[in-house]
Structure 1
Amino acid sequence: MKTNIFPAIKLTIVTLLFFCVVYPAVIWAIAQLAPNNGHGEVVTANGKKYYANIGQAFTEDRFFNSRPSAVDYNAAGSGGSNKGPSNPEYLAIVQARIDTFLMHNPGIDKKDIPVELVTASGSGLDPDISPKAALVQVKRVAAARKLSEEKITELVGSHIEKPLLGMFGPEKVNVLSLNLALEKL
Structure 2
Amino acid sequence: MKNNLIIGIRMTVVLLVLFMVIYPLSVWTVAQLAPNNGEGEVVVYKQNKGYSNIGQNFTADKYFWGRPSAVDYNAAGSGASNKGASNEEYLAVVQGRIDTFLLKNPTVKKLDVPIDLVTASASGLDPNISVASTKVQITRVQKTRKISSEKLNSLIDANTEHPFLGIFGPTKVNVLKLNIALDQLN
TM-score, normalised relative to structure 2: 0.98
5+ long unaligned stretches in structure 2: none
5 Å matches for 1:142-181?
142-181=142-181
How far the C-alpha of 1:3 sits from its partner, in A, is 1.5
Which residue of 2 is the match for residue 3 of structure 1? 3
Percent identical pairs in the alignment equals: 59
Following superposition, the deviation at residue 77 of structure 1 comes to: 1.4
Distance in 2 of aligned mates of 1:121 and 1:51: 17
* Counterpart-to-counterpart distance in 2, 1:26 and 1:111: 47
Question: Is 1:52 aligned to residue 77 of structure 2?
Answer: no
Q: Secondary structure at the match of 1:169?
A: coil
- Give SS of 1:32's match: helix
* Matched AA of 1:7: I
Secondary structure at 1:84's aligned position in 2? coil
Shift of 1:166: 0.6
Q: Deviations over 1:80-113 (max 9, x none)?
A: 1111111111111111110110110111111111
> TM-score when scaled to structure 1?
0.99
What do the CA deviations read for 1:130-161 (whole angstroms, capped 9, x no partner)? Answer: 00101111111011001111101110011100
Aligned to 2:116: 116
Aligned residue for 2:40, secondary structure, equals coil
1:127 match: 127
Distance 2:26 2:97 in 1: 42
Instruction: Name 2:73's counterpart in structure 1.
Output: 73
Paired letter, 1:78: S
1:21-36 aligned at under 5 Å gives the runs 21-36=21-36
* Match in the other structure for 2:91: 91
The amino acid that maps onto 1:125 is L
Give the counterpart letter for 2:17 in structure 1: L
Q: CA-atom RMSD, angstroms?
A: 0.6
Distance 1:86 1:165 in 2: 37
Amino acid of the residue matched to residue 154 of structure 1? S
SS at match of 2:33: coil
2-side partners of 1:144 and 1:156: how far apart?
17
Q: Tell me the CA shift for residue 63 of structure 1.
A: 0.1
Say whether 1:18 aligns with 2:32.
Answer: no
For 1:103, give the aligned amino acid: L
Aligned equivalents of 1:81 and 1:120: distance in 2?
A: 8
- Counterpart in 1 of 2:182? 182
1:138 equivalenced with 2:138 (yes/no): yes
2-side partners of 1:118 and 1:29: how far apart? 38
Whole-Å Cα distance in 2 between the matches of residues 111 and 5 of structure 1?
61
AA in 1 matched with 2:96: A
Q: Secondary structure at the match of 1:108?
A: coil
For 2:106, the equivalent position in structure 1 comes to 106
Aligned length, in residue pairs: 185
